[in-house]
A = this chain, B = another copy of it.
Amino acid sequence: MSSRAFSKTIPLRKPISPALRRYVYFFGGGKADGNKDMKAELGGKGAGLAEMTNAGLPVPPGFTIQTEACREYMRNGGKLSPEVDRQMREALSRLEAMEGRKLGAGDNPLLVSVRSGAQASMPGMMDTILNLGLNDSSVEALARRGNNPRFAYDSYRRLIHMFGDIVLEVPKRKFDDAFEQQKKRSGVQLDTDLDTKALKQIVEEYKKIVRQHTGKDFPQSPLEQLSMARDAVFRSWNNERARHYRRMNQISDDMGTAASVQCMVFGNLGETSGTGVGFTRNPSTGAKEFYGEYLMNAQGEDVVAGIRTPLPISELDRTMPGIYQQLREITSRLEKHYRDMQDFEFTVMEGRLYMLQTRNGKRAGRAAVRIALDMVEEGLITKEEAIFRVEPNQLYEFLLPRLDETDAKVHELTRGLPASPGAAVGQIIFTADDAVKKVNGSKKSSVILVRSETTPEDIHGMEVAAGILTSRGGMTSHAAVVTRGMGKCCVAGAGEIHVDEKLREIRVRNHVLREGDWISLDGSTGRVLKGKLNTVPASPDDPELKEFLSWAEPFRTMKVRANADIPRDAVQALAFGAEGIGLCRTEHMFFAEDRIAHMRAMILATSEAERRKALRKLLPMQRSDFVGIFRAMAGLPVTIRLLDPPLHEFLPRREDLMVEVALLEKTNPRSPKLAERRNLLARVEELHEFNPMMGHRGCRLGITYPEISEMQARAIFEAAVAVAKEKIRVSPEVMIPLIGGPKEMANQKKIVQQVAEEVFKAEKLRVPYMVGCMIELPRAALIADDIAGVAEFFSFGTNDLTQLTYGFSRDDINRFLPSYVERGSVKQDPFGALDRKGVGRLVRMATELGRQAKPTLKVGVCGEHGGEPSSIEFFYSVGLDYVSCSPFRVLTARLAAAQAAAKEKLGYEGGRTK
C-alpha cells in the first residue's frame, strides 16, 4: 500500500443543487469515492470504510448514502427525492457487477448489511439491519450454495426479526416469544441447538407475526427491503435513546446519520470462518501487544453476547497462521496510517479475511500515557501531538487505587453518580460517630459511610471512612464536593438505594445489606458492588507520567493551585504539582471536634464581649493550622478565605430541636434540659433562613461581627510572621467571600490591614500580603471595575456564581436537573462544565472590567470548575492567571491548562480524534 492511497480525496464537500447532489459514495475494489475526512457526509463508519478501502484493505465493498439524504428525509416528513433512489440503484448495480452476483437473487445471492453511522460516534444508539436480500427463494439458494441450510434459515430468521422490529415496528417481544416457544417445542436450551427444521418453523411463525401485525407480508423484493431498511436507519437518528445520547454528549440534533450498505460476509459458515475484535495495543495497560479475542464459526453478535467464551487472539496464530499474519500486518499498517492505537473488527469467511471496522481505540488513563510515550519513541507522532493523546481527566487514575476486577466475582448492586473517583472497600456503617468508633476501635477496619446525604456534621466520619455512599445529592452535593476535596472515593445519589438509618440497613431492589456487610465502591464509574474486592494502589510518582508531563508543561502559562483547608491536604497538593493554595476554607477548621464547642459558644454569645471570648479560644487553633499550611507551601501563595457559611450550619438542625422540645414538653415538662433546648432552639430560630445560600453569610458575617474577621486575620498574620521567623517565605492572600460591592470590600479590607499592622508592629516583622475577594455574586461581576478599586485580586467562585446566575440551588438541583438535561431544557449540568454563554459571560466581563480598573489585578478561579478541562480551556481564553482545584484534580488541571495553551500556540490539537 502506498501512502498515496490515503490522499485520494474527492473534494465534493460544498453544497450543490439537489438534482446534482452526490448522495451516494461507492467503495470497493481498492478505491472509494470518499475518504476519512468526510465524516460529516459519510459518518464515522462510512468515512472509515472509504478510507480502509482506499488503503487497499480487504473490506467488503458497498456504498454509503450520505447524511444530507437523512436530513432531507427528516425535513420532508419522511420522503426522499427520487435522485437518492436513482443514485442508490446505480451504486447497487455497480456493486452487483463487481461481485458478479445479484441482490437476493440467483444461485449465489448477494446479501448486504445496512448500517447507521453519524459524524459523531454514537455507539449502539442507532439501528442496523443484517442479512438483507434474503427472501423465500434466496434463502434456498444460500442453503444450496454453502450446503448449509441451517445457516441459511438462521440468517433468514435473524433478518425477519431485525427487519420486523426496526423497519416494520412489530413489537420485538412477539418474535422473542415465538422463538422461546419453538425452543421449548424442540426441547433445546441454546439457540445454536435448534436444527434446520425448527428454524424453518420459526421463519414461518415470524412471517405470520409480520402479517398479523402489519397487515402485509414480509417484503420479498430485495430492493424494497433495501429502501425500507435505509429509511428505517434514517428514522433511527431520532429514536429515543439516540436523542438521549446526543443530549448527554452535546451532539447537535441536526446532523443526521449516513446509511452504509455493504456486502455481508459471514463468520459462521463453518470451521474456516470466524469473527473477532481487537486492539493494536493493550487498552488497559498500553503495552505494545496485539490484543483481542475471536470465535470460530460465529457472527459478531455472538462474541458480544457472551454465550460462548471467545479465545484470545494469539490462538488464531495456531489455528489459522496465515490469517493471523495478514491481520497483524494490516492492523499494524492501520495504526501507522491513523497514527494511533486501533480498535478493529474482522471476519474470516471460508478462510478469507475481511476487515469490517477500524477506529482509534479507547484506552484507560495509564494506557493513554504509555501509548503516547511509546508512539513518540517509535517516531509515529511528535511530542507536541502526544500532549493531546491523553484526556486530562485520565490522569486521575494515577492518583487513585482501583478495584481489582479480576479478583472476585463482581456483583454490581446498583449505580450512582461517580462523584469522587477511586475505589473503596469497607463495611457498611450508618453514622459518622459509629464510623469513628469503629475505626478507632480497630485501626485495621475499613468502613463505607452510607447516608441518605451528608452534612458538615458528618465530616469526622467522612475523614475516617474509606469511602462514602449516598442515596441523594448530585455531583456537587456536600458528599461529592467534600470527598473530591479529600481525594476520597464517593458514589453519590444512588437513587435505587433506600437507606434506613433506624433499622441500620440499606435496601436496593431485592437485596438487603446490614451494618457490617462488606461493599465495594468504584467512584470512577459510580458502581456499587457487593462484597470485599481487592484494590490496586495509586501511583502518582509514575515515571511515565512524569515524562509525559515534561512535554506538556512547558506550554502551560496559567498557574494551577489547589484548594486545601488543612496542612495534610497542602502537602498532598504540592506533591501533585500545585503552585499555591487557591482556596483555604477556614470554616472546615471549625467543625473539628475540639473546636465546634467554641464555635457554638461564639454563635450563642449575646454580646460582643462574650463573642470575643469564644473567638480567643479559636484563635490559637486556627493559627496553628495556618502555620502548618504556610510551612508546607514555603513561599507559594496561599489564599485564605474568611468565614463563609451561615452560622446555623454550626448548630443542631432546627427541625430536630423542634421535635425534641415538643417531646420534652409532652413527656418531661419540668426537665432542666427542656429550658436549655428551648434556649438553643430560640437562637437557632433567630438564625433560621428560608434561603440560607442567599442569607447571612460570607462577608456579611464579617461586617455584622467584625470581631470574627479580626480573629481570623490575626490568626493568619501571627502564623505568617511565626513561619517567616523560621526563615521560610510566606505569601498570604486574604480573600473576602460573597462581596457584592466596593464598600463591603473596603470595610473588610480595612479590618484585615489594621490587624496586619498591629501584628507586624508587635512582632517587629513584616510579611508581604494581599487582600482580595471572591467574585461569586452576579452583582460583583457586573460592577467588577468598582470592586477592583479596592481589591488586589479576584477569585471566581463559579459554584455560587452558577447557582445565582441560573437560580439553581445545588443542594436541591437533583430534584429536576436530571430530567431537565434529558428533556434538553438545559444543555448539561452547569455545575459540571462551566456555562460559557451565561456564567462565562459574567466571568469574562468581570475580568475585563477588573483589569480595566486595575491592570495588575490577579484573577483566578477557585470553584469546582477550576478542575474541569473544558472550563479550564475557557478560563485560559479569558486570560485568568490561575485555576485552583481539589488536590486530586491538580494533575488534570495542569494538563488541561497545558493543552489549552498548546492548542492556541500550535494551532492544532495534534491530530487528536475523539
Contacts and interface: CB of A to CB of B under 8 A. Distances in A.
Interface in A659-678: 659, 662-663, 666-667
Interface string A97-110: 00000000000000
A654 B659 CA distance: 11
A908 interface: no
Interface stretch (A375-383, A424-432, A612-620, A775-783): A775-783
A805 B823 contact: no
A805 B825 contact: no
Contacts of A549: none
A368 interface: no
A732 interface: no
A816 B778 contact: no
A178 interface: no
B691 A692 contact: yes
Contacts of A743: 824-827
Of A741, A777, A838, most B-chain CB atoms within 10 Å: A838
A456 interface: no
B806 A777 contact: yes
Contacts of A694: 691, 693-694, 803-804, 806-809, 812
Of A747, A804, A835, most B-chain CB atoms within 10 Å: A804
Given A743-B825, A824-B743, A809 B695 contact: yes
Contact of A783 (B666, B823, B838): B838
A837 interface: yes
Interface in A688-717: 689-696, 700, 703-704
A811 interface: yes
Contacts of A803: 694
A604 interface: no
A815 interface: yes
Of A658, A666, A808, most B-chain CB atoms within 10 Å: A808
Nearest to A804: B804
Question: By DSSP majority rule, is chain A's interface helix, strand, loop, or mixed?
Answer: helix
A815 B689 CA distance: 9
Contacts of A776: 807
A820 interface: yes
A658 to B, nearest CB: 5
A819 interface: yes
A800 interface: yes
A692 B809 CA distance: 8
Nearest to A686: B815
A267 interface: no
Interface string A792-836: 000000001001111111011001100110011111000000010
A831 to B, nearest CB: 13
A812 B693 contact: no
A838 B809 CA distance: 22
A782 B747 contact: no
Contacts of A807: 693-694, 738, 740, 776-779, 800, 804
Contacts of A693: 690-691, 694, 807, 809
Contact of A782 (B700, B805, B812): B805
A842 interface: yes
A743 B800 CA distance: 23
Contacts of A696: 812, 815-816
A839 interface: yes
A851 B783 CA distance: 23
Contact of A691 (B658, B783, B811): B811
A655 interface: yes
A328 interface: no
A679 B803 CA distance: 31
A643 to B, nearest CB: 14
Of A776, A812, A825, most B-chain CB atoms within 10 Å: A825
A804 B779 CA distance: 9
Interface in A734-768: 738, 740-741, 743-744, 747
Contacts of A838: 740-741, 778-779, 782-783
A546 interface: no
Given A691-B691, A695-B812, A740-B826, A779 B805 contact: yes
A692 B689 contact: no
A779 B695 contact: no
A432 to B, nearest CB: 20
Contact of A816 (B659, B663, B700, B812): B700
A841 interface: yes
A704 B804 CA distance: 21
A492 to B, nearest CB: 16
Interface string A353-366: 00000000000000
Contacts of A841: 782-783
A807 B799 CA distance: 13
Q: Give the 5 A-B CB pairs with smallest separation, nearest first.
A: A691-B809, A779-B838, A694-B809, A690-B811, A689-B812
14 contacts: A662-B663, A690-B809, A691-B811, A691-B812, A695-B809, A700-B816, A704-B819, A741-B838, A743-B824, A776-B807, A778-B804, A779-B838, A783-B838, A783-B841
Given A777-B807, A779-B839, A782-B842, 18 more contacts: A666-B666, A689-B815, A690-B809, A691-B692, A694-B807, A694-B809, A694-B812, A695-B809, A695-B815, A700-B820, A740-B826, A741-B825, A743-B824, A743-B826, A778-B838, A779-B806, A779-B835, A782-B841
